[in-house]
A and B are shown apart, each in its own frame.
Chain A
């Protein structure tokens, strides 16, 4: 299974990943349109929390129209043609890694494309092939 791995302890919160992701998929620099999110831990601002899809697939069973499926490499993908924009997958994601932005009528998520990992200066995120 292909998945984006993470080591939050290495993250310096530069947010380059968010920028790369939103530029890659939505042609804009906007963290709200990124499939990976970096924020400071509530307990210790120096510590980072990385929110990104683990490809666990819980959302697949939630979707009322079977628009969520796992592809050959194990990545959970959204079929935008069939998606009816209910966002149940957003509410039910155990990682809170399925996202909605009001500019779009379908949700979006990490598909482990690896672009962000290439731009991470500390290797805090990386592609894992399990």
Chain B
């Protein structure tokens, strides 16, 4: 059936008309609620209290999610919600990185809230259509789509009009279906998952934006925590929003001139300095592949090593030649950082789309590390193909890579074998097996069915079914709280161990990336210094998610004189930019201290949300030893000189004549103790008890002593 015929055959389940509103100083002051079980559609007002306490974005998402669930709610219960929220700065077109959506849900991987920050046009269009957030609750009987027409003021729930399951097809077909013309396609954004999200727990959501030069629907990913899995469990095929008429003043900021001038200042900075600094406009985040390798930080073979002799085969210049240059690759208007790179006419060599030429959105650094070095694959073609299939099948590239690396180490240790994997020889570097694994996951077949559940559940399964040693699996399984680690080797940086471990959603580097500050530049030598960094940076970075912003334009470009400032790691001029644009958009004048307090309110709320769900305490902040030090003799000996020196200098322990096993034991006791000491210092700095529970004093100080929150604290002291 042609797209046109399918359009006329669309079956309406519910239509809701709303009056168009006016955005006032960054807020639509209204959210949209949809219950798919009963096809109920409602509008909710945004109160001043909500804005004061939760700011927006992830703050609004977590507040709605808290109200929707109980401590007993599981990810696949109907009351679980997916909330997509934008934030007060989202949709401004002048400052780079201002089009993000924040998505929260109860995660199938962690059983508690997860949040993911994603580009594409959906978040801004949702706001221009009149809503600061969209709540999706309940479960549909059969596959549906939700369509929001932001110009006519109509929300429709329809039976899914297309059969396609995978995102690259869905986004194209739905964009075509809902646009009146080629010119109109830029006004459509589609949110979709893919076939793997129906089987795996690491399902993601793709948010589209129409690329007017490539004439293709491009995809950005809300990758972490299995949100796509929840989406398909609710039988949502896609969300479509249409908004015609984007202009630079739709947020009706209090002071448009300041927003414009601040944006232009950063555009100039990027124009003048990006080529000399990170080359974000040429290759995006992948610029750091070889730098990570150089500093021994590139996860290799399931985080055993930090570099590999073949990294040059997948370095940033190789990918730079594969992605099309000179395109305006922003995932929202006004992003002159333009890191959303893509390879055009990429020929697929495997899977259901074999032989087709496609657009591959990527590679980002995380993809290159997860789908490359971490699984021992140094073939850029394969990295790109895995990248494509992860996206279209809706698999989180980070979780897929980290869990495949775990599988490969289990395979090489005899915990898995050909019989147990159904014939897949999952040694490090076996690209063909990795590709077959991803196709199996998408079909929910064979070993793919087990793998797609993630590292934590595989550990349980391998112990139960294959009698594997749980201690070894816990040491090498790079997950914490149920979420797979992202792609940095934290082993030699205590601060980064905290940056991964002492987080709300699990080990994702979006809270703190302190490796260079700690390990390379030695700027935070004491526990107190590290604790201060592990307070400031997670709070500062949380703020992006409250406002619908991207983190990258903060520190992937730095002003010319930055290194001469008192705190170069904070990029003081850019912090002031954020203070200025927040004040200019909302009319609420803040300073850099209030910025941190806005984050602290939501951060502590999220911590207590975790505790309310039965997690979020000290015991849950422990990390696998692979993240802290050498688990195996092979690992120790690969860095023997460094480790021997540390034993001598830090512990006064003479390594001469000692076996590697003896030295490893001493090293392990020391490093585990260091992590505990760091945890003590960080909790203290954050205003938490030694068990990791935010105190009532802290909540009162922040004005977050809401009755339901206080109750959680009192029950857990």
Contacts and interface: CB of A to CB of B under 8 A. Distances in A.
Contacts of B696: none
B94 A85 contact: yes
A62 B328 CA distance: 6
A105 B248 CA distance: 6
Contacts of B335: 64
Contact of B263 (A61, A86, A105): A86
Contacts of B690: none
Interface in A69-95: 83-88, 90-92
B420 interface: no
A52 interface: no
Contact of B248 (A62, A63, A86, A92): A86
Given A64-B328, A87-B267, A92 B336 contact: yes
B268 interface: yes
Interface string A110-122: 0000000000000
B334 A87 contact: yes
Contact of A61 (B212, B271, B328): B328
Nearest to A64: B328
Interface in B257-307: 257, 260-261, 263-271
A88 B248 contact: no
Given A86-B248, A86-B333, A87-B334, A63 B264 contact: no
Nearest to A102: B257
Interface string B325-342: 010101001111000000
B247 interface: yes
A102 B336 contact: no
Contacts of B336: 62, 88, 91-92
Nearest to B326: A61
B213 interface: yes
Contacts of A84: 93, 246-248, 333-334
A64 B335 CA distance: 9
A65 interface: yes
A61 B213 CA distance: 10
B256 A63 contact: no
A31 B404 CA distance: 62
B601 to A, nearest CB: 31
A123 interface: no
B186 interface: yes
B695 interface: no
Interface in A24-52: none
Contact of A64 (B269, B270, B333): B333
Contacts of A86: 93-94, 248, 263, 333-334
Given A87-B94, A87-B334, A106-B248, A100 B267 contact: no
B151 to A, nearest CB: 16
Which size bracket describes the interface of B in this complex?
A: 20 to 34
A65 B264 CA distance: 17
Q: Which of A66, A84, A92, A105 has the most CB of B within 10 A?
A: A84
Given A62-B328, A84-B248, A100 B212 contact: no
Given A61-B326, A106-B248, A87 B264 contact: yes
Interface in B203-256: 212-213, 246-249, 256
B334 A90 contact: no
Contact of A90 (B249, B267, B269, B270): B267
B264 A90 contact: yes
A83 B247 CA distance: 7
A92 B328 contact: no
A64 B213 CA distance: 9
B123 to A, nearest CB: 15
A85 B247 contact: yes
A64 B334 contact: yes
Contacts of B94: 85-87
Given A61-B326, A85-B248, A100 B264 contact: yes
A61 B326 CA distance: 7
Given A61-B326, A64-B333, A84-B334, A102 B267 contact: no
A66 B257 contact: no
A87 B333 contact: no
A66 B263 CA distance: 19
Contacts of B257: 102
A91 B268 contact: yes
B229 to A, nearest CB: 32
A63 B328 CA distance: 7
Interface in B627-661: none
A79 to B, nearest CB: 12
Contacts of A91: 263-271, 336
A84 B93 CA distance: 7
Contacts of B246: 84
A87 B328 CA distance: 13
Question: Of B213, B270, B326, B336, which is in contact with the most chain A CB atoms at under 10 Å from its CB?
Answer: B336
A5 to B, nearest CB: 25
Nearest to B334: A86
A39 to B, nearest CB: 18
Which of A65, A84, A91 is most buried by chain B, counting CB atoms within 10 A of its CB? Answer: A91
A32 to B, nearest CB: 11
A65 B333 contact: yes
A64 B264 contact: no
Contacts of A88: 267, 328, 334, 336
Contacts of B263: 86-87, 91
A85 B91 CA distance: 11
B264 A102 contact: no
Contacts of A102: 256-257, 260-261
A91 B256 CA distance: 17
Tell me which of A88, A90, A100 has the highest count of chain B C-beta atoms within 10 A of its own C-beta. Answer: A88
A105 B257 CA distance: 9
Nearest to B209: A64
Contacts of A83: 248
A62 B186 CA distance: 17
B45 to A, nearest CB: 29
B330 A87 contact: no
Interface of B: 93-94, 186, 212-213, 246-249, 256-257, 260-261, 263-271, 326, 328, 330, 333-336
Q: Would you list the 5 A-B pairs with minimal beta carbon distance, nearest first?
A: A85-B248, A91-B267, A102-B257, A86-B334, A86-B93
19 contacts: A61-B326, A63-B328, A64-B330, A66-B213, A84-B246, A84-B333, A85-B94, A85-B247, A85-B249, A86-B334, A87-B334, A88-B328, A88-B336, A90-B267, A91-B267, A91-B268, A92-B336, A102-B256, A105-B256
Given A87-B264, A91-B265, A102-B256, 17 more contacts: A63-B328, A64-B212, A65-B333, A66-B213, A84-B93, A84-B246, A84-B248, A85-B249, A86-B94, A87-B260, A88-B328, A88-B334, A88-B336, A92-B267, A92-B271, A92-B336, A102-B257
